Amino acid sequence: MHIVFVCREYVPTLRGGGIASYIKETAVNLVKRGHTVTVCCASDDTREETEYSDQGVRVIRLSGGDFVIPGIEHASIIKKFRCLYRFFSYRRKILKTIETLHNVDIVEVPEFGAEAFYLTRLKIPVVIRLHTPTLLDRNNAGIKKLSIRNFYDYWVGWQELRILPKFQYVTSCSLSLKRWFETCVPKLKSNIEVIYNSIEIDSWRSEKDREYSEGSILYVGTVAEGKGVGDLIEACRILRSQNMSVTLHIAGKMGAYANSLKKEVDGNGEIWCTFLGNQTRGCLKDWYAQSKVVCFPSWWENMPLVCLEAMLAGNIVIGSSNGGMAEIIENGKDGYLVPPHNPEKLAEYLRRALEENEASVAQKRANAYKKIKENFSTDVILDSLETYYLNVIEKNAASQDIMG
C-alpha cells in the first residue's frame, strides 16, 4: 500500500507531541513492512518548504502553516491571527499536495487541527484518526465553552467537530475517546474502530538494573493545567510536609501556565522541583532510568504513549482514572490509577508506590511487560491497522464501482 499521513507535527519539531510520536513510529514501521509511506506535515518555519527521506519515509514539510513559533519567526499581533486567515489556504495546500502524489491507496489524518477540511474531495479513502479534540474539556469530559480567552482555539475546534460527520472511516486511539465522540458529536454516523497506539518494545524496555533514587518522581508531557501538573506539585508538597524526602522532575513543553508554575516554585525556594523543558527521546530514557515513579495525573487523557514508555522502562506508573489510562493500567497489578483533581489522594498513591520494595516493583514491571507485549506492541497493532486499511480500501473501491 501507499499510505499518506497528514499531520500538524512530525519529529523533529518544536511543536511535537503525542501525535508526532505516533505518526513517526507508525510510518517508519509500516515502511519496514514493505509499504510506501508519505508524510505531509507543517514546517516549523512557515516560510520554508522542504522534502527529504526519513528511514524510508518520504517527508514533505509544507510552508504556509497557520501558526507562528517565536524564535523561528518574528511574532506579531497579526501573526497571532494566522489560525484564521491561513486556515483555508493551508488546508487547500494539503489537498493539492496529496493530489500530486502517485498511486496513493489511503490517507490518514488526525481530527486535531481539522486538516481534513478539504479532503472529502479526494476519491481515495480518508481515515480520520481521533487523538484528542481541541474542544474536549478535561474538567468535566464535556465540550469547552466559548470565551474571549479561547476564541481562536474554539473556532478551530469547532471546525474539527463540524467536518467529522462527512467522513465514513474513523479510528480512535482509545475506547474512552470513542465514547466521548459518540456522546458529544451525535451527528457522527461512522462506526469508530478502536485501534490503540503502538509502541516499539525493544526501544523502551530496560533490561539493566535500575539505579533510581528512592524518592524520585517524574512527570512527562505538556506542562498544562489539564494535565494535573499543579495537582502533582501540591501532592509532593503534602509528602514533604510529612517528612518524606521526594524530588520531582517535570519534562515537557512549556507555556504560559508552566512558566507561572515555575515562577511560583522558584519563589518558594522549592529546589526539590525541577522543570526540564522539552527532552529528546534519548534523554527521556535516562530520566525514566533515574526515577522510581512516573506520574500522569491528567484530569482526562486519551492514550498517552509516555504511559506505555514508562511502564516498559520499569517505572511504577501512576495514571489518571479518567480516560484511556484506565485501559492501560490495572490498578495495583501493573501500576496505579488515581482520581483527578485530588492532590491528597495522589499523595497517598505516591507514598504507596515510593515505599514498594524491589520484589513488588519487579512484579509490576513483569505484569506491565506482558500486557504491553500482548496488547500494545508494534507487531500486534500494525497487524490490526493493516487489516483495517485493506478493508477500507476494498469498501471504497466497491462504493466507487456502484457510483459508476
Per residue in 264-282, pLDDT tens?
999 999 999 999 998 887 8
Amino acid (1-letter code) at residue 308? L
Beta strand spans in 95-183 (E): 106-110, 126-130, 136-137, 142-143, 169-172
Distances (CA, A) of 259 to 13, 219, 246: 21, 16, 22
Its CATH class, for the domain covering 201-375, is alpha beta
CB 244 within 8 A of CB 354: yes
C-alpha cell at 397: 473501491
Per residue in 288-317, pLDDT tens?
999 999 999 999 988 888 999 999 999 999
Q: What is the pLDDT of residue 279?
A: 87
Model pTM above 0.85:
yes
DSSP per residue, 246-286 = -EEEEES---HHHHHHHHHHHHTT-TTEEEEES--HHHHHH
**Domains 2-198+378-402 and 201-375 alike in fold:** yes
Helices (runs of H) and strands (runs of E) counted in the chain: 13, 16
Q: What is the pLDDT of residue 8?
A: 84
Tell me the three-class secondary structure of 17-78, residue by residue.
Answer: CHHHHHHHHHHHHHHHCCCEEEEEEECCCCCCCEEEEECCEEEEEECCCCCCCECCECCCCC
Amino acid (1-letter code) at residue 210? R
Q: Which residues of the chain have pLDDT under 50?
A: none
The CATH number of the domain covering residues in 2-198+378-402: 3.40.50.2000
C-alpha cell at 398: 466497491
Distance CA 336, CA 334 (A): 7
Q: What is the pLDDT of residue 208?
A: 57
Q: What is the pLDDT of residue 383?
A: 96
Q: What is the pLDDT of residue 110?
A: 96
Domain chopping of the chain, boundaries = 2-198+378-402, 201-375
Distance CA 302, CA 305 (A): 10
Q: What is the pLDDT of residue 194?
A: 95
